[in-house]
């Protein structure tokens, strides 16, 4: 935890590995579909490309885990889930939706994980245009899940932040600010309708009163 312009944020760093933090939840995405957060990436990871399995690193990720009926999983996904349980002692969530700050494809590109189809990524930010500054994001998780997985989402069971460079062996650094789930009606009227539309707002890299 570090101070940024008088606000406490999370600093994540990794050197050839993966740095993450997970918080367990129990949220109905129909009632609280809107996810907002702030993040800042200082620079991209050299050689990272989220369309390639051997270079699939990202300096910043926000991961949403969902419950579901594991009996519906394909044989390949069930084998992968069993392998993860055996090696890491962890139960894989039924589905994971990742919002990433990546590279190798345009913004809004959807990438399916090469190991399991139950992890799918959306490149919310891509490239170096906005590095060095805070960016505030707003997504409708309910509608993103339906679009990406082609089914109704179960309950949200966890949210995580992850900074990883294990595929490339490089270093990475990112900052994460406020994260919140909100009901669509929070905005009211036309603003509630606008909450269904993803937004991305660039902020200054300097603190108030400082020169850019």
pLDDT tens profile 135-150: 999 999 999 999 999 9
CATH number of 11-202: 2.60.120
Q: How far apart are CA 41 and CA 103, in angstroms?
A: 12
For position 192, what pLDDT does the model report? 57
Query: To the nearest whole percent, how much of the chain has pLDDT over 70?
Result: 91
pLDDT tens profile 5-39: 889 999 999 999 998 999 999 999 999 999 999 99
Q: How far apart are CA 139 and CA 201, in angstroms?
A: 12
Query: Considering the entire predicted model, what is its pTM?
Result: 0.91
Smallest CA-to-CA distance from 118 within 90, 155, 150, 164 is with: 150
For position 209, what pLDDT does the model report? 54
Instruction: Check if the beta carbon of residue 5 is closer than 8 Å to that of residue 207.
Output: yes
Smallest CA-to-CA distance from 157 within 145, 165, 169 is with: 145
Domain ranges of the chain: 11-202
Q: How far apart are CA 206 and CA 209, in angstroms?
A: 8
Asked which of 67-71, 126-130, 193-197 is least confident by mean pLDDT, the reply is 193-197
> Would you state the torsion angle of the CA atoms of residues 116, 150, 164, 36, taken in this order, to the nearest 10 degrees?
-160
Residues facing 180 on adjacent strands: 36
């Amino acid at each position: 935890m570090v101070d940024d312009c008088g606000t406490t944020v999370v600093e994540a760093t990794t050197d050839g590995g993966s740095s993450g933090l997970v918080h367990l939840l129990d949220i109905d995405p129909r009632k609280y579909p809107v996810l907002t957060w702030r993040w800042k990436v200082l620079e991209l990871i050299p050689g990272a490309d989220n369309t390639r399995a051997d270079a699939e690193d990202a300096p910043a990720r926000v991961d949403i885990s969902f419950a579901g009926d594991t009996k519906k999983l394909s044989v390949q996904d069930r084998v992968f889930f069993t392998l993860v349980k055996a090696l890491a002692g962890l139960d894989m969530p039924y589905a994971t939706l990742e919002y990433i700050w990546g590279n190798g494809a345009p913004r809004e590109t959807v990438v399916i994980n090469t190991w399991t189809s139950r992890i799918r990524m959306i490149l919310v930010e891509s490239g170096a245009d906005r590095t060095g500054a805070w960016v505030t994001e707003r997504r409708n998780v309910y509608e993103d899940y339906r679009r990406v997985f082609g089914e109704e989402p179960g309950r949200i069971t966890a949210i995580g932040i992850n900074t990883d460079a294990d595929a490339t062996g490089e270093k990475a650094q990112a900052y994460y600010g406020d994260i919140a789930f909100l009901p669509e009606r929070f905005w009211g009227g036309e603003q509630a309708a606008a909450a269904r539309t993803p937004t991305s707002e660039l902020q200054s890299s300097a603190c108030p009163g400082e020169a850019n």
